[in-house]
Amino acid sequence: ELAILAGVSPNTVLIDRDKRLAQVRAKPLPGASLATYRALEQRLVAAEPQWQVYLVPPAMTLPSVAFDGDEPTESGAADLALAIWAARRTGRSLTISGNDAQVEFVLTKMREQGIETTRTGSTNNSNSLRISWAL
């Protein structure tokens, strides 16, 4: 099922039966967003709760994080959690730009998760913060 949901052949799924670990790098699926891949992974985890299942999403644009002052909005917090999930799955570093307080908030969250993140600039836009893949 993991290969089918990821859109890949079964021989590309990494399985460690002793550790009960499964990992697959998903192919881009038409109309799928990062949230789609995360939901697919959650579905797989629910179907096999005794296994650690990791669905690595394809490279996609990361969401912006909406803020209300120095704190993310409810949707902003969900988008930040999604960006953290994607960075943890891919192992890639991130860059952040936004106003100073928002950048510090996100940098702290990323560091807590062990994600390498750098600031790329400061803006006066107080409503959102931009997260991108580092080159």
114-135 pLDDT, tens digit per residue, is: 999 999 877 666 688 999 999 8
pLDDT (tens digit, 9 = 90+) per residue, 28-70? 989 999 999 999 999 989 988 999 999 999 989 999 999 998 8
Closest-CA residue to 54 (of 21, 76, 28): 21
* Prediction pTM value: 0.89
- For residue 134, give Cα distances in angstroms to 19, 59, 97, 131: 31, 12, 12, 9
